[in-house]
């Protein structure tokens, strides 16, 4: 299988009165169709890593390749286009626009690419049916629950069939029922439509829906584990690695089954 994403020897130091090296020689790759979580204690560099992969931030050294192309080498307008085409984003706080309906929010990536209205409508109906949110399309963001908002945000992230979905704490603001709904949604998109996703989370339950978990500590790769048949067993394995990792107790206080 071809590597969809290659992260090669990434270093990143935040410079200031006190410099801080947030990432140290991070390397890993993600194949097409993988569903992977990145975990680590607060401050271990997870968001920095995701921001560098998504080209929001630049590494000091090292390369990111997405489908063999290094987006950090692209000029600004080409980069904006590359991001819109190749990447889909899901955020902790959903990032939906309150002035638009749920349906209009989901269609945004297509609007930006100036797709024909009939094509947009067809794609919208397709993804809404798949995610079970057909009845929400005409509602406003404040009329639906957190879990429904996040499923709408996932629909928006995948409607243009990007190569890679990047999610930073997508279940961070959700209760356990909504977390389950959102993770089952991501899981079925991965399993049935071969959507490739990389998700940062500190929630071991959310991570247990993935097929692989990469652990980082102090900006370095610490370990990685793959899921077998059983999600509950994987969940226990994730807890074991987290306890070896240490980190702040706050990270484990949010454990919920």
Binding site for ligand ADP (CB under 6 A): 14, 16, 20, 22, 40, 42-48
Residue 176 vs 250, nearer CB to ligand ADP = 250
Residue 46 vs 83, nearer CB to ligand ADP = 46
Q: CA angle, 109 as apex, 108 and 115 as ends, to 5°?
A: 95
- Burial category of 43 from C-beta neighbours within 10 Å (exposed 0-12, middle 13-18, buried 19 and up): middle
Residue 47 vs 173, nearer CB to Mg ion = 47
Shortest distance in whole angstroms from residue 13 CB to ligand ADP: 9
Contact 36, 17 (CB under 8 A): no
Q: How far apart are CA 88 and CA 74, in angstroms?
A: 18
| Per-residue interface string for the shown chain with Mg ion, residues 36-65, x marking contact by CB under 5 A | ----------xx------------------
With CB under 5 to 8 Å by kind, the binding choice for 145 among ligand ADP, Mg ion, none is: none
Residue 42 vs 111, nearer CB to ligand ADP = 42
Contact 194, 221 (CB under 8 A): no
Shortest distance in whole angstroms from residue 102 CB to ligand ADP: 29
Residue 34 vs 169, nearer CB to Mg ion = 169
Cβ atoms < 10 Å from Cβ of 205:
19
Shortest distance in whole angstroms from residue 41 CB to Mg ion: 10
Contact 58, 134 (CB under 8 A): no
**Dihedral angle at the C-alpha atoms of 211, 105, 111, 189, nearest 10 degrees?**
20
Half-sphere exposure of 39 (CA within 13 A, CB side): 33
With CB under 5 to 8 Å by kind, the binding choice for 201 among Mg ion, ligand ADP, none is: none
Which residues would be at the binding site for Mg ion (CB under 5 A)? 46-47
């Amino acid at each position: 299988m071809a590597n969809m994403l290659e992260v090669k020897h990434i270093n990143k130091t935040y410079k200031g009165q006190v410099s801080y090296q947030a990432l140290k020689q991070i390397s890993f790759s993600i194949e097409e169709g993988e569903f992977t979580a990145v975990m680590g204690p607060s401050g271990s560099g997870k968001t920095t890593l995701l921001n560098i992969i998504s080209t929001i931030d630049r590494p000091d050294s090292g390369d990111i390749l997405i489908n063999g192309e290094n987006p950090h080498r692209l000029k600004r307008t080409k980069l904006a286009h590359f991001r819109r085409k190749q990447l889909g984003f899901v955020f902790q706080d959903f990032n939906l626009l309150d002035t638009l309906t749920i349906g209009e929010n989901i269609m945004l990536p297509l609007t930006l690419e100036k797709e024909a209205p009939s094509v947009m409508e067809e794609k919208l109906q397709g993804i809404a049916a798949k995610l079970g949110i057909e009845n929400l399309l005409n509602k406003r963001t404040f009329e639906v629950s957190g879990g429904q908002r996040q499923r709408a945000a996932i629909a928006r992230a995948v409607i243009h069939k990007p190569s890679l979905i990047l999610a930073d704490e997508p279940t961070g603001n959700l209760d356990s029922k909504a977390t389950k709904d959102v993770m089952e949604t991501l899981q079925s998109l991965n399993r049935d439509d071969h959507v490739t996703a990389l998700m940062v989370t500190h929630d071991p339950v959310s991570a247990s829906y993935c097929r692989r978990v990469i652990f980082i500590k102090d900006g370095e790769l610490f370990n990685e584990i793959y899921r077998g048949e059983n999600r509950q067993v994987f969940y226990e394995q994730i807890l074991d690695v987290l306890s070896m990792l240490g980190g702040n107790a706050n990270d484990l206080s949010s454990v919920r089954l």
